[in-house]
Amino acid sequence: MSEKLRISHGAGGKDTAEMVRKLVVSKVPPTMRKALAGVGLDELDDGAAFRVGDKWVVVSVDAYTVKPIKFPGGDLGHLAASGTINDVLMMGARPVALMDAVVAEEGTEVSLLEEIMESFIRTATTEGVAVVGGDFKVMPRGAVDGVIIGAVGVGITDKEPIVDRPSPGDVIVVSGPIGDHGAVITAAQLGMLEEVEGLSSDARPLTPCVLPIIEGGLRPKVTALRDATRGGLAAVLNEWAEASATTIVVKRAEVPVRPATLGFLEMLGIDPLHSASEGVAVFAARPDTAEELLEALKRGGCVEAAVIGEVREPWEPFLKGRVVVETEVGGMTLLPSTPLTTPRIC
């Protein structure tokens, strides 16, 4: 029987990575997986990179779909611009340009599309990022569920791109509270927004917090950098642990989560570590720079940045490539990579 796609294949966790390798990576000849001796499919990072003269050009592409299209803290346009800008930043480059490709269902209100695109453009231009082109398609009613935005981001750096390579001894740092986006979208889809106070998406460009770090003296100390999106913090850490053959230990008590988000997710039995975040950067960095990194993040406006764990050599064979959570009472539990959030998160 032919394999069928599942929602989890697009949820940003292990299933997504396996499907990308099956559909794309395995079919591209090894000699054609990167351009100009740059960064490409072999790394499967937040983007690709290649050298042009004395500069590195970083390119990232993503598709965004969310239901509802408008939600507390943002909308589809703001989400698409923020997410694409952040992906470029995570590769260590300054975002300079965006392109969009909009696919909308027949019958969509033009005023809604105008609002979404105004939000996309406003988010980009506020960060000094040009919107340089795009495409627009309309599909028959029922062929597309609402609106989808594809976006390409371009960035420039004079340093080598940041490719995720955490190593034992590194600390794990988050730029702020996790899980907000997943919580608010879940509440909206369940019709519970009016019953739960204080939920709001964290979708935003991370330029103010991250750019001073990747363009300053701390950059050589950063060994991995990723934004926690669909699969949440759990997906990022599991991917890093597996790729580096290490064990990542997270102290749950140190992970910042807003009270409203925590209360709502706990009510549904969803671990905040699996809940989507659209405005949180995750760093692996050398331990001697932890305090300096926190100070830099807080100066950039990420005032709730925190050290939440560390990368270790596996102390048992079965812990190789795994993430361990130290509970508030000192116990240890494995953190799976599979996200438990609802579909259509981002």
Instruction: Delimit the domains of the chain by residue range.
Output: 34-157, 171-334
Q: In Å, what is the CA distance from 335 to each residue of 249, 251, 326?
A: 10, 12, 10
Question: What angle is formed at CA 81 by the lines to CA 220 and CA 339, rounded to 5 degrees?
Answer: 75
| Residues forming beta bridges with residue 74, ordered by sequence position | 71
Alpha-carbon distance 127 to 291, whole Å?
Answer: 27
Alpha-carbon distance 153 to 292, whole Å?
Answer: 29
Q: In Å, what is the CA distance from 232 to each residue of 7, 13, 130, 181, 272?
A: 16, 9, 28, 10, 8
| Residues forming beta bridges with residue 104, ordered by sequence position | 138, 147
Alpha-carbon distance 295 to 24, whole Å?
Answer: 40
> pLDDT 10s per residue in the chain (346 long)?
678 878 777 766 677 778 888 888 888 888 888 887 788 888 877 789 999 999 999 999 999 999 999 999 999 999 999 999 999 999 999 999 999 999 999 999 999 999 999 999 999 999 999 999 999 999 999 999 899 999 999 999 999 999 999 999 999 999 999 999 999 999 999 999 989 999 999 999 999 999 999 999 999 999 999 999 988 999 999 999 999 999 999 999 999 999 999 999 999 999 999 999 999 999 999 999 999 999 999 999 999 999 999 999 999 999 999 999 999 888 999 999 875 544 456 5
| Residues forming beta bridges with residue 138, ordered by sequence position | 104
Q: Among 113, 227, 108, which residue's Cα sits nearest to residue 175? A: 227
Q: Which residues fall within 8 angstroms of residue 21, CB to CB, at 6 or more apart?
A: 44
Q: 231 φ, ψ to 5°?
A: -85, 0
Instruction: State pLDDT tens for residues 33-59.
Output: 888 778 888 887 778 999 999 999 999
Continuous segment of H or E residues that includes residue 214: helix 207-214
Q: How high is the pLDDT of residue 342?
A: 46
CATH 3.90.470.20 fits 34-157, yes or no: no
Q: Among 180, 66, 46, 155, which residue's Cα sits nearest to residue 116? A: 66
Q: How high is the pLDDT of residue 345?
A: 60
Alpha-carbon distance 35 to 37, whole Å?
Answer: 6
Amino acid at 209: C
Question: Using an 8 Å Cβ cutoff, are 114 and 149 in contact?
Answer: no
Which residue's structure tokens are 């001697």? Answer: 288
3-state percent breakdown (helix, strand, coil) of the chain, nearest 5: 35, 25, 40
Topology annotation, domain 171-334? Phosphoribosyl-aminoimidazole Synthetase; Chain A, domain 2 (3.90.650)
β-pairing verdict for 306-312 and 55-64: unpaired
Question: Using an 8 Å Cβ cutoff, are 242 and 121 in contact?
Answer: no
Alpha-carbon distance 131 to 267, whole Å?
Answer: 41
Whether omega for the bond prior to residue 168 falls within 30 degrees of 0, making it cis, is no
Q: Among 90, 98, 91, 96, which residue's Cα sits nearest to residue 117? A: 98
Question: What angle is formed at CA 85 by the lines to CA 228 and CA 272, rounded to 5 degrees?
Answer: 15
